[in-house]
Amino acid sequence: MGSELSADMQAQIGPVLEWQAGLDALHARIVPHFPRPEVRARVRRYLEALLGRAERKNGWQVAEEMGEATPDGVQRLLNSAHWDADGVRNTLRAYVVEHLGDADAVLVVDETGFLKKGRQSVGVARQYSGTAGRIENVQMGVFLAYAAPRGRAFLDRALYLPEEWTRDTTRCRAAGVPPAVGFATKPQLARQMLARAFAAGVPAAWVTGDEVYGNDGSLRQWLADQDWPYVLAVARHHPIWAADAQGVPRQVRVDVLIGQVAARHWVPLLVGEGSKGPRVYDWTALRLPYITETGQVQWVLARRALAAPHKLAYYRVCAPADTTLAQMARVAGTRWVIEETIERAKGEVGLDQYEVRRWEAWHRYITLALLAHAYLEVTRAPAAPVPGPGAAQKGGLQQR
């Protein structure tokens, strides 16, 4: 009986010990970015608390989860302790690539809003938030996610500073914004994060994002110059240079251009599983008369709902000439994963539950939350179902 109980206990304790060992190994990778031993020890407990059972990941509840009587230590970790958040971000990127890296992965850019009260928190302003679906008092974070067959996690983050902030040097100084930080649009922040990923040799085949990024011609041109294939959403009024019936180039709205496509050129394609079942849409693509210096060609891609053909979405595509419609649709469908991944990070590690106001503290909290989320994704990756052929058709592009 004793040996049976012992075996049963081992079966229960084994996964816990494995979990702790994995977290210890991840912690060991970021230790070089924390010079003081007491800060190293605290960040280990902090990561475990973010992954713990606290209902909210605010200062008090995280401190209690860590076994500390007050949140003072947590506040010092985020606000005044000496450590390198960008170094931890680089370790996060390397960790994700090591465990989830795949040559067919997709780099996804998107932003999310963090609702805030008052006007002291760095970057907070009245601005449109897709999270709230309206104009609210929010901070906006721009994120770079990695969507691969084995899992999804984040590689990078940036805080968006509205112009009302960058014009007010006194306000920026009070919030700890470095003097060298000026105004940057969300597409410009996305470009900075993508450049870091490219420089680090992150294996991927595509870049995708929503209209905020697709409508930005300078970002599209930069990606084309980098020889990086992309599928980026654009607004229905997005202008396209196309030849008319006489072969004369003229500008036409993308919705007008797609409205001329015959019914027989629309193809139903499965692009993944959603919360309500398989995502199947009609798709079509029109090749444009543009060729990059590296030989990539461009298309307008369109998607419409089967049950509501009047509901369309539009994309600009730049990729090798032999790219198929199914490949384009697959990448476009991948864009949705970042929204789901952001929501998972908010719900599982409290990505939106921070109580910090200053520039450095925001980047520190967000980085540690993304690291904790990556650990969750990596540990559950072996149990994840293998995507079906409709959800993960290979893009056919070689590793960069």
135-184 pLDDT per residue, tens: 899 999 999 999 999 999 999 999 999 999 999 999 999 999 999 999 99
* Mean of all residue pLDDT scores within the chain: 89
pLDDT digits (tens, 9 = 90+) for 246-301: 777 788 999 999 998 988 899 999 887 666 678 899 999 999 988 788 889 999 99
Average pLDDT over residues 87-93: 98
pLDDT at site 271: 84
131: pLDDT strictly greater than 80: no
Give CA–CA dist 298/287, Å, rounded. Answer: 6
Residue 334 in contact with residue 315, Cβ under 8 Å? no
391: pLDDT strictly greater than 80: no
Closest CA to 90 of 380, 370, 348: 370
pLDDT digits (tens, 9 = 90+) for 198-242: 999 999 999 999 999 999 999 999 999 999 999 999 999 999 987
Give CA–CA dist 49/36, Å, rounded. Answer: 20
Beta pairing partners, 147 = 106, 152
Average pLDDT over residues 183-206: 98
Give CA–CA dist 214/106, Å, rounded. Answer: 15
Average pLDDT over residues 12-30: 86
Q: What is the 3-state secondary structure (H, E, C) of the chain?
A: CHHHHHHHHHHHHHHHHHHHHHHHHHHHHHHHHCCCHHHHHHHHHHHHHHCCCCCCCCHHHHHHHHCCCCCHHHHHHHHCCCCCHHHHHHHHHHHHHHHHCCCCCEEEEEEEEEECCCCCCCCCEEEEECCCCEEEEEEEEEEEEEEECCEEEEEEEEEECCHHHHCCHHHHHHCCCCCCCCCCCHHHHHHHHHHHHHHCCCCCCEEEECHHHHCCHHHHHHHHHCCCCEEEEECCCCEEEEECCCCCEEEEEHHHHHHCCCHHHCEEEEEEEECCEEEEEEEEEEEEEEECCCCCEEEEEEEEECCCCCCEEEEEEEECCCCCHHHHHHHHHHCHHHHHHHHHHHHHHCCCCCCCCCHHHHHHHHHHHHHHHHHHHHHHHHHCCCCCCCCCCCCCCCCC
33: pLDDT strictly greater than 90: yes
pLDDT confidence tier of residue 1, bands split at 50, 70 and 90: very low
- Of the chain, the percentage scoring pLDDT greater than 70 comes to 90
pLDDT at site 133: 78
Higher pLDDT, residue 37 or 273: 37
- State residue 305 phi and psi, 5-degree precision: -75, 140
Residue with tokens 């307008």: 300
In single-letter form, the type of residue at position 365 comes to Y
Sign of the C-alpha dihedral, residues 184, 337, 93, 197?
negative
pLDDT confidence tier of residue 108, bands split at 50, 70 and 90: very high
Residue with tokens 């543009």: 290
Give CA–CA dist 385/360, Å, rounded. Answer: 38
Closest CA to 21 of 60, 54, 48: 48
Average pLDDT over residues 380-389: 60
314: pLDDT strictly greater than 60: yes
pLDDT at site 11: 55
Domains of the chain (ranges, CATH numbers)? 84-331+341-383 (3.90.350.10)
Total Cβ atoms within 10 A of residue 227: 14
pLDDT at site 368: 98
